[in-house]
Copies of this chain bind each other. A is one copy, B any other.
Amino acid sequence: MGIEGERVVTDSALAGRGPAGTGAGAKPARRRAGRPPHALLGQGQITRAALKLVARDGYKALTMAGLARALNVAPSALYNHVASKQDVLLLVEDALMGRVDVSAFAGRPWGEAVRLWAHSYRQVFSAHLPLIPVIALLPVTNAPQTIRMYEAVTEGFLRAGWPPEGIVNAIVALESFIFGSAYDANAPADIFATGELADRAPRFSDAVARRRNPEGLNDADAAFALGLDALVAGLAACQSDRGV
């Protein structure tokens, strides 16, 4: 909303070649070639359209053609603003990092802050699994929201008395657990169904059948809570032991 200039320009720039007259409400409005009076695209619009598209139809629908359609633009127009689809994923990833709640590191005790951050982090990216390789493998350079998050977390660790030399490794360890748990949160309920091979794994099949979770937690949430408790407790203990 606000003065985006989009609608005005779109209306005046429509070609008369539309399939059925020039009805103002016509959806598949076409534009003639050439640079439009005002810019239609930008990294911001692309990012927002990608987020909306993924929210509605999932990552299977996030194609350059689909994204262009959502923006009412030709696919090749996107390449004036991003170098590749990877670039789009990077934009989306950074936008999502802005949704990770790091506020607890400002005031709460370390253990509680880590837990709240980890839950938020996992929740955000559980719905965006295809971005996990992007986060885990691509440099954070030029990803301001991502850097902002790391800064807030680091501040929290420092405030809790962590030595700077050990902070990054602790964050990476927590992040690794969070990424893996995000995958697990999307696993089907029957992922451990042994089927015909049950008799070849009697103890495992029994453990799967007897699996019990704390009240109100599903399987994935219970495993995450267990691992997170263990990691937080273990890290707090390791912090004092482990010299540089």
Name the contact of A140 in the complex, choosing from B153, B164, B192 (C-beta under 8 A). B192
A9 within 8 A of B: no
- The answer to whether B234 touches A191, judged by C-beta atoms less than 8 angstroms apart, is no
Q: How far is the CA of A187 from the CA of B195 in the complex (A)?
A: 37
Which one of A42-50, A61-69, A79-87, A203-211 contacts B? A203-211
Interface status of A155 (Cβ within 8 A of chain B): yes
Whether B147 lies near A197 (C-beta < 8 A) is yes
Q: A117 near B: Cβ within 8 Å? A: no
Q: A154 contacts the other chain (Cβ, under 8 Å)?
A: yes
Question: Is A89's CB within 8 Å of the partner chain B?
Answer: no
In the complex, the chain B residue whose C-beta lies closest to that of A189 is B139
Are B165 and A176 interface neighbours, CB within 8 A?
Answer: no
Closest chain B residue to A243 by CB distance? B214
Asked whether A142 lies within 8 Å of B195 as measured between CB atoms, the reply is yes
Bound form: Cα–Cα A180–B201 in Å: 26
Tell me, in angstroms, the Cα distance from A121 to B11 when the chains sit together: 58
Give the oligomeric copy count: 2
B229 touches A188 (CB 8 A): no
User: How many A residues touch the partner, as a band?
Assistant: 35 or more
What residues on B are CB-neighbors of A206 within 8 Å? Answer: 164
Complex CA distance for A178 and B172, rounded to whole angstroms:
12
**How far does the Cβ of A118 sit from chain B's closest Cβ, in whole Å?**
12
Residue contact B169 to A222, C-beta cutoff 8 Å = yes
> Which residues on the B side are within 8 Å of A186 (C-beta)?
136-137
**CB-nearest residue of chain B relative to A130?**
B133
B211 touches A136 (CB 8 A): no
A97 to chain B, nearest CB (A): 13
Instruction: Enumerate 10 A-B pairs (CB-CB under 8 Å) in ascending A order.
Output: A147-B201, A150-B204, A151-B201, A155-B203, A164-B207, A165-B211, A169-B219, A173-B226, A179-B179, A226-B238
User: Knowing that A137-B183, A169-B219, A169-B222 are A-B contacts, what are 17 other residue pairs whose CB atoms are under 8 Å apart, sorted by A's residue number?
Assistant: A141-B194, A151-B204, A164-B207, A164-B210, A165-B211, A165-B212, A166-B226, A169-B213, A170-B223, A172-B184, A173-B230, A176-B183, A179-B179, A180-B181, A229-B238, A232-B234, A233-B234
